[in-house]
Structure 1
Amino acid sequence: METLRERKKQRTREALLRSALELFTTQGYEQTTVDEIAEAVDVSQRTFFRYFAGKEEAALALTEMTVARFVEAVRARPPHEAPMEALRQAVLEGWYSINEVVESVAPIELYLRMCRVIESTPVLLAAHLRRSVEIEETIAQVLAEREGLDVDADPRPRVAVAVFSSVMRVTERQWSLGEDFSLEAIRALTSRYLDQVGPALLGNWRTA
């Protein structure tokens, strides 16, 4: 059972994270200092560093939380599902729980604004891409374990994850640039884009 002390620590971390996101998205990542983030929550800089190693970790924290939830969802998929179907269902059925993760800390609109900041800030984009490679490897290993494969001997898990991750990046970007930020919109867009994987890779694009 969570103690009062643990709940207080969690509230402080979430407050610092919300403060960081608000400042990053309103005045810019480079222009925001740790002192400003801490001051907005009325805590010391030392307290900030108890929860985050630095600004970069705070900037990517919410994205990390959503990714962690997705990896859990992939692990929990029924063993009879084919790899791409397991990935598809994990994201389509998992959007509601992922949304809960986001909104437990900040409004979805703020999350989307932060995604745009990450894309437009070289140091954050580089860190995000490095982390994405690590996550893709983790998911590939999960798929390999599900299928009883050696991930280093069989290229299919890494190939499947590479394709899926690329589709998701395109989908999320299109969603973030649109006007409808509802769960229904992202689920519909995700489903539509994933439906195109087979035709895009194997089909003849030139029709009579």
Structure 2
Amino acid sequence: MNDDVPRDLRARRRLTTRQEIHEAALALFEEQGVRETTVQQIAERAGVSSRTFFRHFESKEQAGLPGQHRLLGVIDGLEASDPEPAAVLRAIESAAESAMGRENDPGLEEHRRLARLLAREPDLRALAASQEKDLAARLRARVAEQVGEHDPVAVLLVAEVAVAVWRTSWERWGEISAGGGTQDPVEVYRHCRGELRRVVG
């Protein structure tokens, strides 16, 4: 028997369990709020023990908001053909558009739910801000690899601007969705990017 099969099976089970915990946390946050929800309640809803919960997440907030996987994919896959900082920023923008997803993307319904929760849950907003700092640091390191000997300030600006436009786009798309709109998130992203360029000239 192939030794890879059990490992693959365990990996799939781990991902499935993680997703079930996340979905349980999201549902409970919607039903009763973040502060009123306990880890034990999330674990019970997901059908796991509290010990299993903490194998996957450090806190209940993290279970509900596990991270910006789409942007992480952009960062890890970033390959710019031109080392100029402006060209690297354009490469990030192009990759971000591809990662955004279209209106019929099934993952966007979860983004709608998260947008509504973030609007009313300060504890989740604090975690989101912390995650964004980590994303910006990770992107900064990746950009530095791409641009070589350029000014570190330019590297920092590219990373911070890219994350800011990403965040602003999702926030705006969430507001539109919460209001009953169905705008394509890529179009929202392009609009936010265009507005930034208009503002800074």
TM over 0.5: yes
Q: What is aligned with 2:191?
A: 192
Q: CA 1:170–1:28 in structure 2 vs 1: closer, same or farther (change >3 Å)?
A: same
Question: Contact 2:71/2:99 (CA < 8 Å) preserved in 1?
Answer: no
Letter in 2 for 1:168: W
Give structure 1 stretches of 5+ with no counterpart: 203-208
Q: CA 1:133–1:196 in structure 2 vs 1: closer, same or farther (change >3 Å)?
A: same
Question: Contact 1:70/1:91 (CA < 8 Å) preserved in 2?
Answer: yes
- Alignment equivalent of 1:50, drawn from 55, 61, 65: 55
Q: What is aligned with 2:137?
A: 137
TM-score under structure 1 normalisation? 0.79
What secondary structure sits across from 1:189 in the alignment? helix
Q: CA 1:137–1:4 in structure 2 vs 1: closer, same or farther (change >3 Å)?
A: closer
Per-residue CA deviation, residues 65-86 of structure 1 (Å, 9 max, x unaligned), is 233223123x2x3423702211
Letter in 2 for 1:165: V
Question: Contact 2:169/2:189 (CA < 8 Å) preserved in 1?
Answer: yes
Question: Contact 1:83/1:143 (CA < 8 Å) preserved in 2?
Answer: yes
Give structure 2 stretches of 5+ with no counterpart: none
1:113 aligns with 2:106: no
Following superposition, the deviation at residue 19 of structure 1 comes to 0.9
Counterparts of 1:38-187 in structure 2, within 5 Å, are: 38-61=43-66, 63-73=67-77, 75=78, 77-80=79-82, 82-96=87-101, 103=106, 107-149=107-149, 154-178=152-176, 179-181=180-182, 185-187=184-186
Following superposition, the deviation at residue 162 of structure 1 comes to 2.1
Question: Contact 1:70/1:90 (CA < 8 Å) preserved in 2?
Answer: yes
Q: CA 1:154–1:7 in structure 2 vs 1: closer, same or farther (change >3 Å)?
A: closer
Question: Contact 1:171/1:189 (CA < 8 Å) preserved in 2?
Answer: yes
Following superposition, the deviation at residue 130 of structure 1 comes to 2.1
Q: CA 1:9–1:137 in structure 2 vs 1: closer, same or farther (change >3 Å)?
A: closer
Letter in 2 for 1:196: E
Following superposition, the deviation at residue 128 of structure 1 comes to 1.8
What secondary structure sits across from 2:65 in the alignment? helix
Give the distance between the partners of 2:167 and 2:73, measured in 1 at CA. 17
Give the distance between the partners of 1:43 and 1:143, measured in 2 at CA. 40
Question: Contact 1:22/1:110 (CA < 8 Å) preserved in 2?
Answer: no
TM-score under structure 2 normalisation? 0.81
Give the distance between the partners of 2:165 and 2:101, measured in 1 at CA. 19
Question: Contact 2:136/2:163 (CA < 8 Å) preserved in 1?
Answer: yes
Question: Contact 2:143/2:155 (CA < 8 Å) preserved in 1?
Answer: yes
Letter in 1 for 2:111: Y
Give the distance between the partners of 1:143 and 1:181, measured in 2 at CA. 33
Question: Contact 2:34/2:123 (CA < 8 Å) preserved in 1?
Answer: no
Letter in 1 for 2:47: D
Give the distance between the partners of 2:69 and 2:134, measured in 1 at CA. 14
